[in-house]
Structures are given as structure tokens and as C-alpha cells.
Amino acid sequence: MKKNLITVVILALVVVNLVLTAVLTITIIPETKKANELITKVCSAIDLDLVAGDTAGSLAVDVADMVDYPVASGGTMTINLKDSGDGSLHYAVLAVSLSIDSTNKDWTEKYQANGLTGYDNIISDTIKSVVANNTIEDMRTREDEVKEEILEALQGLFKSSFIVRVNFSSATYQ
């Protein structure tokens, strides 16, 4: 009789355990799905950021593999800036250089032999187009973001990522 009573108690506990497991599963699965969606969104945002960082590329390239190319032979460019609404005309005087990944396949196959000197006018125009779309406040407070915009425009121009960084060797905003 004791064996039957213990068996009934064990069976009752198994049924209670099964019911509680079902209740937990029903209540936890929707929250788990929401958490998984959030994790997926965060991962995709990180992937986008990593792709942008890879587009920028300077973190992935060893400094020893970078070649510095001064745009327009290191001369300065005077660029009119977008109107900031204060009634004054503003301009930027920039000396720009590009950091080039000397190990990049596109650089070694297409451009290394002749360099970029034949493209100085196109590069300068691209830089002027990007900088001219910014106000003086943008240039002062968001200089790194403007460099990133220039970098993306140049990488789009050459359809390659051998340019890994844009540098302002001198920058004056007036």
C-alpha cells in the first residue's frame, strides 16, 4: 500500500511539474522572441557599424602599410561653406592628404604605378563638393564626420576601398 501511495504522489508531482513547465513555456516564449528580435536588431546595427568601419578601413590597416598621398601636391584648397544663416560668407582653407592601403589589390594593380596625380582635379572636386555642403559650425564640431563623408565619396568615386583615411594636414575656417 505504501508503494502505491508513493507512486501516486510521484505521479501527481510529475503532472504538477508538467503543468508548471507548460505555463512557464507559454509565458516565456513570447518574451524570448522579443528578446531575440532585439538582439537581432542590435547585431544588425553592429554589423552596419562594422561595415562602415571597414569602409573607413584605417583600423584594419597597419600603419606600416599606409602610404600618404598629398592631394594637389600638398597645396591648400579654399572652399566656400554653406550659409549658416548669420549673414556672413564663410570658407575653409584645407590641405588634404589621403592615407592609402598599399596592400590593397586595387591600389597595386590599377593606381600604384602612376599614382593618383592624374586624378587630383577629380579628387579635389569631390572634396570641395562634400565640404561645401557643410556650414562653418559643422566643420568645427563635426570635422571627423566630414572626413568620413569625404572618404565614402572618394571610395565611391574609385569604386574601391584602397583609400582608408582622409587627413586635414591644415584646416582653417573663417
Comparing CA positions, the residue from 130, 120, 124 lying closest to residue 152 is 130
Reported as a single tens digit per residue, the pLDDT across 2-11 is 778 889 999 9
* 146 Cβ contact list (under 8 Å, min separation 6): 130, 131, 134, 138, 139
Reported as a single tens digit per residue, the pLDDT across 79-134 is 888 888 888 888 999 999 998 988 888 888 887 777 788 888 899 999 999 999 98
Backbone angles phi, psi at 75, to 5 degrees: -70, 165
* Mean pLDDT estimate for the chain: 84
Reported as a single tens digit per residue, the pLDDT across 74-89 is 888 988 888 888 888 8
Q: With contact defined as beta carbons under 8 Å apart, do 55 and 155 qualify?
A: yes
- Averaged over 26-51, what is the pLDDT? 77
Cell reading at 89: 560668407
Backbone angles phi, psi at 115, to 5 degrees: 70, -165
Band of residue 36 on the pLDDT scale cut at 50, 70, 90: confident
Q: For residue 107, with 0-12 CB atoms within 10 Å meaning exposed, 13-18 middle and 19 or more buried, which class applies?
A: buried
Band of residue 34 on the pLDDT scale cut at 50, 70, 90: confident
Q: Is 163 a residue whose pLDDT tops 60?
A: yes
What is the SS3 assignment for 159? coil
Assessment of whether the complete model's pTM goes beyond 0.75: no
List beta partners, residue 97: 70, 167
* pLDDT in the model for residue 118: 84
* pLDDT in the model for residue 51: 45
- Averaged over 24-38, what is the pLDDT? 86
